[in-house]
Chain A
Amino acid sequence: TQLLEQSPQFLSIQEGENLTVYCNSSSVFSSLQWYRQEPGEGPVLLVTVVTGGEVKKLKRLTFQFGDARKDSSLHITAAQPGDTGLYLCAGAGLNSGYALNFGKGTSLLVTP
């Protein structure tokens, strides 16, 4: 099993602040995905990154895949209360038949 470490585990910020969430591993992934999960629901895909060094933007969210494809970051600009949720990174590895393994998540709370 390829382990994914996420940091920080918890984050509480005020509306308008910026934040960065990290996802790290010692393994190389063929792709890495970021999901967001709200209470009582399953995770929903935000983005998939495939190429080392790739940067993708989704409105106020910026995702980056490390050059070595072992790590990724999620940056949120001007956070809003609607961004509150559990942010999960998930990696698919060739050696595991592309089994999708998740990190433990970062729980984000944005207060007005």
Chain B
Amino acid sequence: GEDVEQSLFLSVREGDSSVINCTYTDSSSTYLYWYKQEPGAGLQLLTYIFSNMDMKQDQRLTVLLNKKDKHLSLRIADTQTGDSAIYFCAERGNQGGKLIFGQGTELSVKP
């Protein structure tokens, strides 16, 4: 079945780059997403990438997609303490609009 995997924790220093990785199993995924969850809040869409793209850049965010290895990454440049949150990778499944989420990576940014 469909599955999305992420490492659970990442700790970086303020000003460094953060790279959060994700692997997925459904090769028919059309869209892949990164959602951000701040403490005590719901999820908000951070960025997404269409499956025919290799890379998408949006200000400090860079998304890389390797379809051959079914690997997605999110790079945050110049990481700030405000970036501390849980980041979820998700893929659009093959049934309608349902999303399959990874476990979430908790990013801790230390000053």
Bound pair: A and B? Answer: no
